[in-house]
Amino acid sequence: MTAIDGNSAIKTAKPSPRSGVALPLGAHAKNTGGKKGRSGRPPNDLRAFLAALRSDPDVQKAFREALLDCNSRGFGAALRILTQYDNDKPAEKRQIVGPTVVTVQYVREGRRVSAS
């Protein structure tokens, strides 16, 4: 444990074997929350640009051509976009097929003894 301002103690990770630096864990005064411009949700301008791109007939034509020609270089990427990023895709359902054995084990912990 070390203190930043002398009043509050903070926990630190194990020191690095290379540099010996111990990074603080959790919320602390020097935690900036991420890199500027690379963290957080995408800006609304990007969402608007992507929406306009999706509605562009030339982009739709190129996407359709890439999907219809399986020998095209863009076929794999277009298929991945179509299957993974479609807003209207149904939720994935997983089923257990056939008989399944479920084992439940109860573990009773005894009284904990603490060193004084």
Is 9 a domain residue?
A: no
Longest Cα–Cα distance in the chain: 75
Is 5 a domain residue?
A: no
Q: How far is CA 34 from CA 16, 25, 29, 47, 63, in A?
A: 21, 14, 13, 21, 35
Q: How many domains does the chain have?
A: 1
Question: Can you give the residue range of the structural domain that contains 75?
Answer: 44-84
Is 78 a domain residue?
A: yes
Single-letter amino acid, residue 36: K
Sign of CA dihedral 64, 67, 73, 78: positive
Is 75 a domain residue?
A: yes
Is 91 a domain residue?
A: no
Write out pLDDT tens, residues 42-86.
Answer: 678 877 888 888 889 998 998 888 889 889 888 888 888 777 776
Is 104 a domain residue?
A: no
Is 50 a domain residue?
A: yes
- pTM, two decimals, is 0.39
